Amino acid sequence: MRVAALYDIHGNLPALEAVLAEVESAAVDVVVVGGDVVSGPFPAATLELLLGLGGRVRFLRGNADRLEAEPDWVGAQFDAGRRALITTWPAAVVLEPAGLGAVRFCHGSPRSDEESITPATPDRRLRPMLAGVVESVVVCGHTHMQFDRVAGRHRVVNAGSVGMPYEGRRGAYWALLGPGVELRRTAYDAVRAAARIRSDGHPEAAPAFAELVLRPPTRAEATAAFEPA
């Protein structure tokens, strides 16, 4: 089995479209959508595109997918059926990509979708987050930075962010699992995407989101924000 891990899309439809074009050419069996899916400029269109993948897609619910946290514009883009569907997404899913054995996919950490793991998270803080996790590989997101590191007996992979990366470089970031782990970056036209976001996206958040697409924060900036002093 080959698994594409697409995390933190944040309603960035142009970035998702670019990534899915690569996914289709990569002989992927399952697409794990790892949370923070719809909160962004194109929530409804993003969800419908992913649902079009049919039985190949597995959704996780991220902290930003609690629509009650943003009840005005984003929530209003969905009917009651779609809002109810989002509430059914689980916190984690376990799959077995070729060559890796059982892998636990979660959003933040196995304990919480709001818990942050970065490349700099010390083992003394990371190991309690992994306590009780029987799978040797954990794939997470939430902090929008790709990494592949070891903590004790666990390998922890952050798939990166499709829609809002904190990599200091434009693009859409994701991971391909099976038989190994590939951290991938998909290039797309960020200037055109930003213009599309400004003209058709979330009316209040569009300017700030477009700026993030054009000028992604650096890993150092993001790490400083996520890691406690």
Q: In terms of C-beta density within 10 A (0-12 exposed, 13-18 middle, 19 or more buried), how is residue 49 classed?
A: middle
pLDDT digits (tens, 9 = 90+) for 32-54: 999 999 999 999 999 999 999 99
Q: Is the Cα torsion angle 197, 86, 156, 97 positive or negative in sign? A: negative
In a domain, 105, yes or no: no
One-letter amino acid of 72:
D
Is residue 212 one of the residues assigned to a domain?
Answer: yes
Domain that holds residue 47: 3-95+161-226
Look at residue 47 and tell me if it is in a domain.
yes
Q: What is the sign of the dihedral through the CA atoms of 195, 83, 29 and 174?
A: positive
Distance of alpha carbon 229 from alpha carbon 211, whole angstroms: 27
pTM over 0.85: yes
Residue 130 maps to a domain: no
Structure token pair of residue 209: 């989101």
What's the pLDDT tens digit per position in 137-194?
A: 999 999 999 999 999 999 999 999 999 999 999 999 999 999 999 999 999 999 999 9
Q: Give the bridge partners for 58, in sequence order.
A: 32
Residue 185 falls inside a structural domain:
yes
Amino acid at 13: L
Q: Indicate the Cα dihedral angle 27, 30, 36, 38, nearest 10°.
A: 80
Tally of structural domains, the chain: 1
Tell me if 124 is assigned to some domain. Answer: no
Q: Specify if 214 maps to a domain.
A: yes
* CA nearest neighbour of 81 among 40, 42, 44: 44
**Hey, what are 215's tokens?**
């000028």
Neighbours of 72 (CB within 10 A): 8
**pLDDT tens-digit map of 77-135:** 899 899 999 999 999 999 999 999 999 999 999 999 999 999 999 999 999 999 999 99
Indicate which CATH number applies to the domain containing 21.
3.60.21.10
On whether residue 178 sits in a domain, the answer given is: yes
Q: What are the tens digits of pLDDT across the range 210-227?
A: 999 999 999 999 999 999
